[in-house]
Amino acid sequence: MASAKEYKNFINGCWVDSKSGDKYENRNPANNDDVVGAFQKSNAADVEEAVNAASEAFKKWRLVPAPHRGEILFNIANRLLKNKENFSSDMTREMGKILKETRGDTQEAIDMTFYMAGEGRRLFGVTTTSELKNKFNMTVRQPVGVCSFITPWNFPMAIPSWKMMPALICGNTVVIKPATDTPLSVVNLINACHEEGIPPGVVNLVTGSGSKLGDPLINNSAVKIVSFTGSTEIGRKVSEACASSFKHTCLEMGGKNIEIVMDDADLDLAVEGALWGAFGTSGQRCTATSRLICHEDVADKFSSMIVERVNKLKVGNGLDEKIEMGPMINQGQLDTVLKYIEIGKKEGAKLLCGGERLSGKDYDKGNFVQPTVFANVTRNMRIWKEEIFGPVLSIGTFSNFDEAVELANDTIYGLSASIYTRDINKAYTAMRDVNTGIFYVNAPTIGAETHLPFGGTKETGNGHREAGTAALDVFSEWKSVYVDFSGKLQRAQIDTEN
Question: What CA–CA distance (Å, rounded) separates 261 from 277?
Answer: 13
Amino acid identity, position 318: G
Each as own residue / partner, the long-range contacts of residues 298-304 (CB below 8 Å, 24 or more positions apart, any chain) are 298/261, 298/263, 298/265, 298/267, 299/375, 299/395, 299/397, 301/267, 302/261, 302/267, 302/270, 302/271, 302/395, 303/352, 303/373, 303/375, 303/395
Whole-angstrom Cα distance, residue 186 to residue 285?
18
Going from the C-alpha of 289 to that of each of 85, 274, 418, 446, the distances in angstroms are 28, 7, 9, 8
The CA-atom distances, in angstroms, between 321 and each of 28, 71, 92 are: 17, 35, 11
329 in Cβ contact with 29 (< 8 Å)? yes
Active site (catalytic) residues: 252, 286
CB 285 within 8 A of CB 154: yes
CA–CA separation, 438 vs 428, rounded Å? Answer: 14
> Quick one: DSSP state of residue 239?
H
- Contact assessment for residue 306 and residue 394, using Cβ atoms and an 8 Å cutoff: no
Half-sphere exposure of 4 (CA within 13 A, CB side): 19
Q: What is the C-alpha separation between 275 and 443, in angstroms, rounded? A: 11
The one-character DSSP state at 388 is -
Computed on alpha carbons and rounded to an integer, the radius of gyration of the chain in Å comes to: 24
Helical segments of 96-180, H only: 99-119, 158-169
